[in-house]
Amino acid sequence: MHRHDGNNPDRASIRAYDLILRHIHDAETVEIYLPTALTRVEPGAPPTIESVGPGSESGVSDGGSTLTKQVGRVAVASAAALAFGELVSFGQTIALARLLSPTEVGIFAAGTVLTMLLTTFVEGGLRSGLVQRETEVADTAETVFRASLVNGLAMTLGALAAAPLIGMIFHNRTIGLIAATTSGFLLIFALTNVPEALLQRDFSVKRRIVVGPAVSVSFAVVSVALAACGFGVWSMVIGSYASYVVWVITVWWLARWRPGRGRASIRLWRELARYGSPVVVNMLGARVQSTVEAAVVGRGLSSAALGHYRYGQRIAQIPVRFIVEVGAFSLFPAFARIAEERDPARMEAAYLRAIRLTTVGAAALSGLIIALGEPAVVVVFGERWREAGALVVAMAGLGLGKAWMSVSEEAIKGVGRTKLLNWQTATEIVVGLGLLLVLVKHFGLVGVGLATSGTMLVVAVLVTTLARSAMGISLPALLRAVGPPLPAAVLALAATWYLEHQVLHSDSRPILLAIGLLTLDTIVFMLIYLLVLGVLAPEVIRGFARLTGRLTPRRRRNDASGTAIPRNAEPGPSRETN
């Protein structure tokens, strides 16, 4: 793996982001890219393409198609690693729900509310600036590292000083102690900024295969073990520290970057701050909204209600994490590279393809959550978590809204129009707080979920409109991309809701039978969804079939051609792909 020190890579590397864009583009209108070129990055200069002739010693020309399939298989492995991490995370959530009470979970959520807010200032938009940077990468990385340490130390001391105030706000001394103890998260988090940015620049597949599962497993093992031993809420605190330490160790090991390989400068910091400040303001809106929600629920309702809120939010965000981790992580650098080529038609095709794919998945997940969210939570977590199940249903709009918002955010950042995100932040705060105060008064905890869903959908429409305007995409083209999955999801939702709530009643059955009935509900939903989607947008189904075919390993053909890539082979480093 290439060391990010600003020196020439020791071996040529494939412009692998083109391979990812190959799957973003519509295959009917865009020619499939095969890697017949190598990229070399000179210090302080943007990448250039060097063609490789048939006689090249690199062997890439003859094995280009095989390498394309290899990268596709690695992408599948990355998605599988993400699924594994989510399964581990979901498993520990179930275990902790059985071992801890909603009140204990709520106390932890209240104690960490300030820490989660201040992570935005630790990151400071510097990570996005480093990902987007094309020149002076080594010096920029050194600048980001030092600025992140200063930010992390300042935020840690600030959180420690404010901890008693947190305890007073929630009228709970334990919450204040947890706020003080978890302030150290911020300094550890600061250490991840540079390696995470460099891995994102390279679309690092290993980052997804190693880091995510390692962090999930470390938290699960430590927190569940300590909870079983009677540590209560402190099991989650210690488990969180363990996962942060594992996070730092793994990203530094994978990035192979070390301080001192560049020269930090005030000039670079100012440039990064100018680029990243709108990103910080954008992230701050969501953090402020989440903080206020936790304060309103914990102070206005109860610690138990905050526990239901925390777990309901966690479950509702499972599809969101898939959307962000799989999509946005790769889309930002991919969109940035397309923008550099100044090809509006290619940018439009990539954006529409990406938002179409995310809408297909998010619409289905949101429909399933509405139809099966409450009975599923009761079956898996137990009857005492039914309120969390109702909250999950109320927050179903989170997945669909985040799908549109994440793709549009990354496109806006990719074309360098980050100031547009200020509109998102202002809308998120005004609409979010307004809906929260109105709905929580009338609907209690469920009102919090409805406010979250409503805010996310309103902001998603706004950000999508801004992205469409920035790229010059027509409204009919956008509606053709996102429209068909919505009626398909509504019809599947209606049929599945009736089947579950009027016929099967899985949450009143023994657990094994209940799981079987929920599985039947899911199968029925997906069959109806895909059938209707196939009628309304058959090209979407054909597109998924083509994508599946491209990602399917064809070892016989590789073996026959003699170009199979060794099992331990990996894509080249520089400007690569996660």
pLDDT tens per residue, range 497-536? 999 999 999 999 998 999 999 999 999 999 999 999 988 8
Output DSSP code: residue 351: H
User: Is-contact 135 43, C-beta < 8 A?
Assistant: no
Task: Name residues of the chain where pLDDT drops below 70.
Answer: 1-82, 124, 203-205, 276, 278-279, 281-286, 319-343, 414-415, 418, 543-578
Average pLDDT, the chain: 75
Q: Which of 535, 536, 503 lies closest to 521, judged by CA?
A: 503
Distance CA 42, CA 368 (A): 49
DSSP run (H or E) holding 49: strand 48-51
Q: What are phi and psi of 517, to 5 degrees?
A: -70, -40
Angle formed at CA 142 by CA 141 and CA 148, multiple of 5 degrees = 85
For the beta carbon of residue 148, count every other beta carbon within 10 angstroms.
23
The pLDDT assigned to 521 comes to 94
The pLDDT assigned to 130 comes to 80
Total-model pTM? 0.62
Please enumerate in sequence order all residues whose Cβ is within 8 A of that of 492, keeping only pairs 6 or more positions apart, or say none. 364, 367, 524, 525, 526, 528, 529, 532
Distance CA 376, CA 521 (A): 11
The pLDDT assigned to 514 comes to 93
User: Is-contact 453 401, C-beta < 8 A?
Assistant: yes
Kindly list the distances between the CA atom of residue 400 and the CA atoms of 31, 130, 157, 412, 486, in Å, as whole numbers in the listed order: 30, 29, 38, 19, 10
The pLDDT assigned to 79 comes to 62
Cβ-based burial of 283 (10 A; exposed 0-12, middle 13-18, buried ≥19): buried
Residue 40's DSSP bridge partners are 48
The pLDDT assigned to 517 comes to 94
Distance of CA 541 to the CA centre of its chain: 24
The pLDDT assigned to 196 comes to 87
The pLDDT assigned to 424 comes to 77
Distance CA 350, CA 344 (A): 10
The pLDDT assigned to 301 comes to 77
pLDDT in tens, 290-301: 777 777 887 777
